[in-house]
Structure 1
Amino acid sequence: MSTPPMDELFGDIDLEWEHRKNRAFRSLCFLSSILGLAALALLIADVLWEAYRGVSEYDIGIIHFITSTGSVNPDRAGMYGALVGSVLLIVLASIMTFFIGVGAAIYLEEYAPDTRLVRLIDANLANLAGVPSVVYGLVCFGLLINGPLDLGRIILVGAIALALVVLPIIIVSAMEALRAVPDSVRNGSYAIGATRWQTIRRVVLPAAMPGIMTGTILAIANAWGQTAPLLMVGAIASARHVPTGPFDDITALTVTIFDWAFRFQDQFHVLAAMGIVGLLVVLLGMNMVAIYIRSRYEKELS
């Protein structure tokens, strides 16, 4: 079958006008990227300046700020208790979401039949990933605090709220990573006599693990910055205690920063900026871990 001439495919097209539209669209995309980066740079610069004011103008020691607990006196306030609470929340949420999320993704992608119910679940997972996080906080408050279980305002309830926020994201990202593994890889494993579980465990999962780990780390980083669901389940702002387990009173660094930012004293505002810098440092560390894990798995597979 012969290919029709270009003039029959596209008709009378003004090529010069098309090139102008292409250049205009490219310039618009470049301008949008520059504006976004500029806004982000301004926000980070403002936070760093406020944090520098706390060190220079108010003589807040970094070690004192890191090792002190919450207080109504800004001279004594610090982020240690809230930071420990955030770490406990993230660790518990990560344990709950990783195994449940990856297991659900393996079932939906590798075992579940292509039925209307499975397609409905698949579509609703994407919708659940876009639900505001405050809704999950209200669900946990209604079921786990003010409901039949009545667990109280503890770290475990906050971790469950964060797990509900990020679980759909982890499931969707894990499904996409599994879907990206070519079917020829699976068929080759079946051809040499491997079972379905052996194929998934030894062939599919190692190939999909870089994508799974990247999606999981990014989802957990999203949970690290959540405030609304923790407020809904009664997180204590500027807590003076240091939580030691999942059944201690819930506190988190994001909630403490939220509390500091709305106080009248200017010193609390600079404390909030210093807390945001701490959040950013931990977030950068999590991204570095994600990059390291991804590169390590890619090297093992290559």
Structure 2
Amino acid sequence: MTQEPKDWLEAELLDTLDEEYENELEDAFLSEEIRRIYREKRPDQMDRRLYFRELLRLQTELIKLQDWVAHTGKKVVVIFEGRDSAGKGGAIKRITQRLNPRVVRTVALPAPSDREKSQWYFQRYVPHLPAGGEIVLFDRSWYNRAGVERVMGFATEDEVEQFFQDVPEFERMLVRSGITLVKYWFSITDEEQQLRFLMRIHDPLKQWKLSPMDLQSRIRWEAYTKAKEDMLERTNIPEAPWHIVPANDKKRARLNCMSHLLSLIPYDEVPHDDITLPDRVFNPDYERDVLSRDLYVPQVY
């Protein structure tokens, strides 16, 4: 039976909300004890209905931003930095969720290879920079050198110092080339990171996020704090300032980051031609072939 347009639209909207609920079922496998502790520590969680309403509103604006960037040929780079479990990935997921991956893409590079270690430090990042009409989100970036590489001893103090000498000019070069460069630091407290690590330990769907390096970051909390403060002080330049996102509340952090990003770029709504669905051409001589049942996915559900 053919659905009425109203029924079809309602089904599509419900499907959209289902996607949001799937993303938000983050404590489905948590132990009751961990869940209780987290709720006690965070009694002022944002109202769920308000969160979804604002999320969809901001995602609508991000589509307008995306269209404007593609239409004007602008180039945008957004850097997401912060401690492990600070919520960078969750914010990036909500930003890109409804956008065109041909226009907006995420870069999350693995540890450098031996060959990359011998290159100019910024070289491995340059190929991922945007062309005209593109937005690139870096889930961690060249600031690895000022953070994890420095704290974990993967870079010498001379290499770190050279990085601090080079990065302001490197970023000024990017800006001079026409790139809009936005830098976010997601900030969480010691207590909040501990709670999130405990949740990952008790959540089978998130244990993969907890690496040996993450565990080391707990031990070296103070060293990371000193490295972060040094980094923010020495790389906060007028052409590409840092923006700190208080991230103890994940929902508010995501919305605040999205709202702030939209406020930084003077985009306009791009006019679009009306879209009309053409009529299908029917060929009376066409007969659809009957395909083998072996080709179909089993109907388990």
Per the normalisation by structure 2, the TM-score is 0.23
More strand by share: 2
More helix by share: 1
Per the normalisation by structure 1, the TM-score is 0.23
